[in-house]
Amino acid sequence: MIDECLGFYRVFECLKPIAFLKTDIQEIGIEQYRKNDQLFCPCVVCGVFAAELALKILIFEENTIFLKGRDIQKLYANLPNSHKQIIHDRLEKGKRLDDLSVDDEIDKLKNHFVEWRYSYESRRGLQADIFIETLVETVCNYVLNERR
C-alpha cells in the first residue's frame, strides 16, 4: 500500500504545478489554459487517493484494521490519536481559510475521490477546494517521509 500511495502522490506532485497554476487566461492564452485545466481533475483524483491510502496506512499500522471506503472524513476520524494530533496541528497551520475548522474542511472533501473521478457524471458543478493541496501534502509527507 505504501508503494501505491507514493506512486499516486508523485503523480499529484508532477501535475500540481500545472493543474494548480494560478494565472490569467490573457497571460498564457486560451489554448494553454484549457490544457492546464484538463489536468486539474487527474491531479485532484491522484492527490486525494494518495491521502486516502496514507490515512489507511496509519490506521492499519496502529490498529491492524484495514478500513474500506473512500470517505476521507471517516478515515481521518479513525486515525490513532498520536498521529491525528500531529496531522491536525499541521493542517491547522497550513490551511488558508480561517473561517472553517480543520474538521469542517476535511468534511467538505470526504467524497472528493469519487466525485472527481466521475466528475463528468456530476449534475452539479464541482468546486475545487484549495484545502485539497494542504491535506494531500500534509498527510502524504507525514506518512511517506517523516514518521519512520
Burial of 31 (0-12, 13-18, 19+ CB in 10 A): exposed
| pLDDT computed for residue 132 by the predictor | 84
Query: Each residue's pLDDT tens digit in the chain (148 positions)?
Result: 999 999 999 999 999 887 776 656 566 666 666 666 678 888 888 999 999 999 999 999 988 888 888 889 999 999 999 999 999 999 988 766 566 788 888 888 777 777 766 666 665 555 556 788 889 999 999 999 987 5
Contacts for 6-13 with beta carbons within 8 Å, 24 or more apart? 6/50, 6/144, 8/46, 8/47, 8/49, 8/50, 8/53, 9/46, 9/47, 9/50, 9/54, 9/136, 9/140, 9/144, 11/42, 11/43, 11/46, 12/43, 12/46, 12/47, 12/50, 12/136, 12/140
pLDDT recorded at residue 5: 96
Q: How far apart are CA 140 and CA 5, in angstroms?
A: 8
What's the number of CA atoms in the CB half-sphere (13 Å) around residue 43?
A: 21
What is the distance of C-alpha 137 from the center of its chain? Answer: 7
Query: What is the rounded CA–CA span in Å between residue 14 and residue 119?
Result: 21
* DSSP 3-state percent helix, strand, coil across the chain (nearest 5): 70, 0, 30
